[in-house]
Structure 1
């Protein structure tokens, strides 16, 4: 059952798919409709509360309440849907090892190798905000997703 993301409990599981670019303004409404349609069918009939968010016009976030039994088959459906979006929008959504970070008002997406060069060149520093796309709960998303490099696993590159 599709619910407002805000109504999911703190322990709700989340999956974050960072996009290698912002979705274009003309892509946003059709994308939101596709996301809504997917979530409505994903765990249909099981009383599962599920939701999605599109953050910074770049990150697709799925959420499911803690009581929801998410099987490997359910995750396979989710990944298959993400693969369809990659093709439809000509984007990369599954490479979680690339680094997403804020640079001024912009969100950047770089390979780890490029990110290390930015640190070496002092284009990025210990105060730079990075996105930890490996967080697993709604609480962690809200509290530990956007953190300074020093509070993330990327601090090893400093």
Structure 2
């Protein structure tokens, strides 16, 4: 399904990569969910994808029908079920992710701060801005250098 660039998005980041089997199963569960996702008896134009075997991304084209509190609760329930089934954490907002070469690495907030102090993570390190809210932002502002992200407001790079 082609989604509008103004589609609303939700990003759930796993604290580890999904196996190929988990990835296939999660996509099936998410596709089944989005096919029947409704808000106030209106079918939502929704789609789901998984990027880097780690990020679950759901989109709703709100020009068709907007997600409601109850429909978002249903989404959260499905994500929690996947979280329990796969024994991963998908709701930890302090689970940080960055790119080390071509690999996506996740770590705790404390580990992230240590890596900044050690220079492993620097201004040019690609980080993931999971606070983006629209598909257009996902394509332009999700994978960005540390220096251009929200991260410097909370983390400082320490000079050696």
Normalising by structure 1, we get a TM-score of 0.92
Note the C-alpha offset of 1:47. Answer: 4.1
- Aligned ranges 1:68-79 → 2 under 5 Å: 68-79=65-76
CA offset digits 1:22-70 (Å, max 9, x no partner): 1001222222111111111222862431001110111000000022221
Secondary structure (helix, strand or coil) at the match of 2:42 reads coil
Equivalent residue number for residue 41 of structure 1: 36
Compute the RMSD of aligned alpha carbons.
Answer: 1.3
Determine whether 1:25 maps to 2:27: no
Task: Please report how far the alpha carbon of residue 155 of structure 1 lies from its aligned counterpart in structure 2 after TM superposition.
Answer: 1.8
Do residues 10 (structure 1) and 5 (structure 2) align? yes
Distance in 1, matches of 2:132 and 2:9, equals 7
Q: Is the 8 A contact 1:100 1:110 kept in 2?
A: yes
Q: Report the Cα distance in structure 1 between the residues aligned to 2:125 and 2:23, rounded to whole angstroms.
A: 27
Asked if the contact 2:36–2:43 (Cα under 8 Å) also holds between the matched residues in 1, the reply is: no
Structure 2: where are the runs of 5+ without partners? Answer: none
Q: Which moved more, 1:139-148 or 1:91-100?
A: 91-100
Residues matched between the structures, number: 153
In structure 1, what is the equivalent of residue 108 of structure 2?
111
Q: TM-score, normalised by structure 2?
A: 0.91
- Flag structure 1 segments of 5+ consecutive residues without an equivalent: none
Is structure 2 residue 133 aligned with structure 1 residue 136?
A: yes
- 1:97-121 deviation digits (Å, cap 9, x = unpaired): 3211101111011111110100001
